[in-house]
Amino acid sequence: MKRTVATLADGREMLYFDEDDVTDREVLDTRDLPGVSTASQLRLDPLLDEWIMMAAHRQGRTFFPPKDECPLCPSTAQRRTEIPSADYTVAIFENRFPSLSTGAAPEQDGVNHSLVGFRPGFGRCEVVCFTSDHQARFADLTPGHARLVVDAWADRTRALSELDGVEQVFCFESRGREIGVTLAHPHGQIYAYPFVTPRTRRMWEVARRHRQRTGGDLHTDVIAAERAAGERVLVETAHWVAFVPAAARWPVEVHCYPLRRVRTIPELTDTERDDFALLYLDILQRFDRLYDAPLPYISAWHQGPVNDSEDLGYLHLQLFSARRGADKLKHLAGSEAAMDAFITDSLPEDVALRLREI
């Protein structure tokens, strides 16, 4: 893998990733850009003990531009984009409208509430462009190209984890207007949080109790139970297993686990990365054949936090869709949105059977 580092016109870092060592990419950005906002802030919800990111400048971010104005396509002589090069394989750059920033310095130095904690929105948000092809899907990538994306995720996880103040790195893809995506070009994002996210904290608490009660590792035991049952397993390879979880929250949901317990993407071996690329492409292609149109989805990597002194983390990918029928979406209504108590409209066993039969 070749890694090329560049600097955009407003000072943001960008990187190219290529499968060979000889490809050269354009690093000069000739645009005239305003400075990136550093006004992000964090406020602590005193009722839930959770940090809320506030970034009012994001209201002005790019929203579904026409294809000939896409900021994630390669640059041409007639139009300069976020990618200075005329072509690329995988490109990653700092978000122009970040929720978190390493230079965060909000004008307000506090909030008028004695119980609400406040601090600058320190962190980093990056955009991951999976391919220069505007019309492609991740599912269209070759195994080698998909493996390159895995290597790029590993590279960024390692680098961002070394930033002072970063506590967790989250790699993800949101696809589809129904999910809330604002750019059609195939891309994902990476967030480097200055806190451990609520979902991870909750999984830690449950895993800690499970270890104290049984002496075992919760994720390892969940994998063993799913493999033993078999009815929800979609694909199992030499190094990975993918299954619909028995207590799935979403209409379509698949979890992908490496059979060898690791905490983060960088810990995966070359063989495990190759194996994952094949399995992941398989699952994505099944998703897109479930209905007549490509399935909107969120693909979320759950990695162990930077400081996992209790060794509770187990790397896994959660892939899910809010589409509950060919022409129906599951909206988070009263029970889900207000109480975080999910109601599902289909049995995980039935979803697993449909995905297996595709």
pLDDT in tens, 39-90: 899 999 999 999 999 998 887 777 789 989 999 999 999 999 999 999 999 9
Kindly state whether residues 152 and 210 are assigned to the same domain. no
145 carries a ligand binding annotation: no
In total, how many domains does the chain have? 2
For residue 225, give both structure tokens.
């139970």
Kindly state whether residues 186 and 220 are assigned to the same domain. no
pLDDT in tens, 210-246: 999 999 999 999 999 999 999 999 999 999 999 999 9
**Buried-exposed string 178-189: b where 16+ CB fall within 10 A, e elsewhere:** eeebebbbbbbb
Q: What is the pTM of this model?
A: 0.96
Kindly state whether residues 265 and 129 are assigned to the same domain. no
pLDDT in tens, 118-153: 999 999 999 999 999 999 999 999 999 999 999 999
Q: What are phi and psi of 81, to 5 degrees?
A: -120, -170
Kindly state whether residues 104 and 176 are assigned to the same domain. yes
73 carries a ligand binding annotation: yes
CATH number of the domain that 78 lies in? 3.30.428.10
Kindly state whether residues 228 and 109 are assigned to the same domain. no
Q: Which of 266, 316, 7, 5 minimizes the C-alpha distance to 156?
A: 266
Kindly state whether residues 38 and 77 are assigned to the same domain. yes
**Residues 104 and 84: beta-carbon distance below 8 Å:** no
Amino acid at 97: F
**Residues 52 and 42: beta-carbon distance below 8 Å:** yes
Domain boundary among 195, 210, 226: 195
CA pair distance 33, 175, nearest whole angstrom: 28
Kindly state whether residues 209 and 155 are assigned to the same domain. no
Report the residue count for the chain: 358
Kindly state whether residues 261 and 231 are assigned to the same domain. yes
Q: Which domain holds residue 84?
A: 2-195
Kindly state whether residues 236 and 353 are assigned to the same domain. yes
255 carries a ligand binding annotation: no
Kindly state whether residues 250 and 216 are assigned to the same domain. yes
pLDDT in tens, 145-202: 999 999 999 999 999 999 999 999 999 999 999 988 989 999 999 999 999 999 999 9
Give the pLDDT of residue 72: 97
219 is a catalytic site residue: no
Exposed/middle/buried for residue 56 (C-beta within 10 Å: 0-12, 13-18, 19+): exposed
Q: Which of 8, 10, 72 minimizes the C-alpha distance to 38?
A: 10
CA pair distance 303, 155, nearest whole angstrom: 14
For residue 147, give both structure tokens.
């493996």
Kindly state whether residues 269 and 315 are assigned to the same domain. yes
C-alpha pair distances (Å), 249 with each of 242, 288, 336: 16, 20, 10
Q: What are phi and psi of 168, to 5 degrees?
A: -155, 140
Domain boundary among 177, 195, 213: 195
331 carries a ligand binding annotation: no
| pLDDT surpassing 90 at residue 111 | no
Domain boundary among 175, 195, 215: 195
244: number of Cβ within 10 Å: 26
Q: What secondary structure letter does DSSP report for 83?
A: B
Kindly state whether residues 184 and 37 are assigned to the same domain. yes
- Helix-helix angle 198-214:218-229, to 10 degrees: 80
For residue 124, give both structure tokens.
């980093």
CA pair distance 317, 352, nearest whole angstrom: 17
User: Which of 187, 219, 255, 302 does the annotation list as catalytic?
Assistant: 187
| pLDDT surpassing 80 at residue 106 | no
